[in-house]
Amino acid sequence: MRILLLTNEYPPHIYGGAGVHVEHLCRELVRLDEWRHELRVMCFGGSEASRDEPGVTRVAGPGAAFKGVEHPRLLDALYRNLFMTGGADEADIIHCHTWYTYLAGCLLKPMTAAPLVITVHSLEPHRPWKKEQLGTGYQATCWLERTALRNADGIVAVSSAMKEDIIRLYGIDPRRIRVIYNGIDTHRFQPVDRPDILAAYGIDAARPYVLFVGRVTRQKGILHLVDALPFLAPGVQAVLCAGAPDTPAIAQEMRQRVDQARQRSANDIIWVEDMVPVDRLAALYSHAEVFVCPSIYEPFGIINLEAMACGTPVVGAAVGGIPEIIREGENGVLVPFEPEGPGEPSPKQPQQYARDLAAAINGVLGSEQKRKAMGRSARQWVEAHFSWERIAAQTLAFYADLRSGDRVP
């Protein structure tokens, strides 16, 4: 097969779970023992990011062409999609990731007569806070998603919960959808002993700490975790590796909440605002007593696999695909989450949610024996079920099924 993969994120420019997925999927696809196919990647990029990589085409943006106009981010993406469409070779499978490439996928499907596959990493209607970033352009991204999913021959849902959401929101025939989880690199993420890295971030290796890693965005629930910090057990450090705020407004809100939490808590709250390099993350995960994922919307949650692979139990909200990763009491703890209303990701009672987060964290911290057992179980769980080799093989099998004519009319 000639596989054409379209993506915004691609190494070295990766900032989210979709980029992690694409990086490892591409790497493992070409490592498969039975590999006899051709993989071409078209991604967002430009001259400053150019690399001499066979099979990779980096599509530059419009430069200053959209300066001063409304919706520059949306128009930039659509501009690159047109160049992807014009620059693509013949393909037997077209595989799109995120709304950033949906227009190109929809155009190339009839132009090449190739099946269109879309991996859904998140759903626009479940991310209303994006209105803060895109303004009315958010309505256009919702339209792109709806149009692409209804035109796709095959849809990859990264969790069973995501599959149900796709069916409910867009009325897609379930036969078009295949659940293929995200994976984890268990060599990159494994238990390591590096107290020197902790010291570099001002963390006292002699005292227990609770860890959060993620962007400052409403989706990740970081503000609710900050509100929970004053209720943590005494003597526990809170380490927040939280950067790349979505907007200046949420950056300011985060700063205010952290200041308030510090005033109300005797515990140290360490906020690392710069994104932590991947080669240092394993140490932060490994030394943490517990990792916390307070997301109010999380289709899967690769971040939880990273912590588990380092032998650290996870406290996570019972939303989206997180309950498919956390086995209650075995490798982590699920925190009840009651949404504000149907289709609304915000918690109905934010103060209660913050207290529930704190209670779950304190429960894990309260028993060293149980915590260590959960950490061992976490590592075993990801090794057995979430290897990227397994995910790549399942994806290739999906391609083959679609190519063989196993398509729903």
Residue range 307-365, pLDDT digits in tens: 999 999 999 999 999 999 999 999 999 999 988 876 667 888 999 999 999 999 999 99
Give the Cβ contact number of residue 405 at 10 Å. Answer: 7
Across the range 87-92, mean pLDDT stands at: 94
Structure tokens at 22: 């694409």
CATH number for 195-385 (one of 3.40.50.2000, 3.30.1330.40, 3.40.50.1370, 3.30.1490.20): it is 3.40.50.2000
User: In the structure, what pLDDT confidence band is assigned to residue 34 with cuts at 50, 70 and 90?
Assistant: confident
CATH number for 2-183+387-403 (one of 3.90.1200.10, 3.40.50.2000, 1.20.1250.20, 3.30.70.270): it is 3.40.50.2000
> Are the beta carbons of 398 and 95 closer than 8 angstroms?
no
Do 2-183+387-403 and 195-385 come out as alike in CATH topology? yes
Structure tokens at 341: 């209303």
How many Å apart are CA 345 and CA 334, to the nearest integer?
Answer: 17
Q: Is the pLDDT of residue 33 over 80?
A: no
Q: What is the predicted pLDDT for the residue at 35? A: 81
Q: Which residues does residue 96 pair with via DSSP β-bridges, in sequence order?
A: 6, 118
Alpha carbon 33 to chain centroid, angstroms: 28
Structure tokens at 122: 């998140």
Q: In the 3-class helix/strand/coil scheme, how is the chain assigned residue by residue?
A: CEEEEEECCECCECCCHHHHHHHHHHHHHCCCCCCCCEEEEEEECCHHHCCCCCCEEEECCCCCCCCCCCCHHHHHHHHHHHHHHHHCCCCCEEEEECHHHHHHHHHHHHHHCCCEEEEECCCHHHCHHHHHHHCCHHHHHHHHHHHHHHHCCEEEECCHHHHHHHHHHHCCCHHHEEECCCCECCCCCCCCCCHHHHHHCCCCCCCCEEEEEEECCHHHCHHHHHHHHHHCCCCCEEEEEEECCCCHHHHHHHHHHHHHHHHHCCCCEEEECCCCCHHHHHHHHHHCCEEEECCCCCCCCHHHHHHHHCCCCEEEECCCCHHHCCCECCCEEEECCCEEECCEEEECCHHHHHHHHHHHHHHHHCCHHHHHHHHHHHHHHHHHHCEHHHHHHHHHHHHHHHHCCCCCC
67-88 pLDDT, tens digit per residue, is: 878 888 899 999 999 999 999 9
Q: What is the predicted pLDDT for the residue at 261? A: 97
Q: Would you say the C-alpha torsion 63, 69, 75, 79 has a positive or negative sign?
A: negative
Angle, vertex CA 142, rays to CA 141 and CA 146, nearest 5: 115
Q: What is the predicted pLDDT for the residue at 131? A: 79
User: In the structure, what pLDDT confidence band is assigned to residue 56 with cuts at 50, 70 and 90?
Assistant: very high
Q: What is the predicted pLDDT for the residue at 73? A: 87
User: In the structure, what pLDDT confidence band is assigned to residue 214 with cuts at 50, 70 and 90?
Assistant: very high
Residue 292 has φ and ψ, to the nearest 5°, of -120, 130
Q: What is the predicted pLDDT for the residue at 223? A: 97
Q: Is the pLDDT of residue 46 over 80?
A: no
**Torsion region of 170: left, alpha or beta (phi above 0 gives left; psi -120 to 50 gives alpha):** alpha
Q: What is the predicted pLDDT for the residue at 278? A: 85
Q: Is the pLDDT of residue 49 over 60?
A: no
**Measured between alpha carbons, how far is residue 226 from residues 136, 235, 346, 354 in Å?**
30, 16, 15, 8
Does the reported pTM lie above 0.85? yes
Q: Which residues contact 117 (CB under 8 A, 6 or more apart)?
A: 93, 94, 95, 96, 152, 153, 154, 155, 156, 398, 399, 402
> Are the beta carbons of 374 and 331 closer than 8 angstroms?
yes
Structure tokens at 86: 């014009």
Q: What is the predicted pLDDT for the residue at 14? A: 87
Q: Is the pLDDT of residue 371 over 90?
A: yes
Say how many CA atoms lie within 13 Å of 18 toward its Cβ. Answer: 21
How many Å apart are CA 32 and CA 104, to the nearest integer?
Answer: 28
How many Å apart are CA 46 and CA 382, to the nearest integer?
Answer: 36
Domain extents in the chain: 2-183+387-403, 195-385
Environment class of residue 47 by beta-carbon count within 10 Å: exposed (0-12), middle (13-18) or buried (19+)?
exposed
Q: What is the predicted pLDDT for the residue at 389? A: 92
Q: What is the predicted pLDDT for the residue at 406? A: 61
170-201 pLDDT, tens digit per residue, is: 999 999 999 999 999 999 999 999 999 999 99
Q: Which residues contact 369 (CB under 8 A, 6 or more apart)?
A: none
228-255 pLDDT, tens digit per residue, is: 999 999 999 999 999 989 889 999 999 9
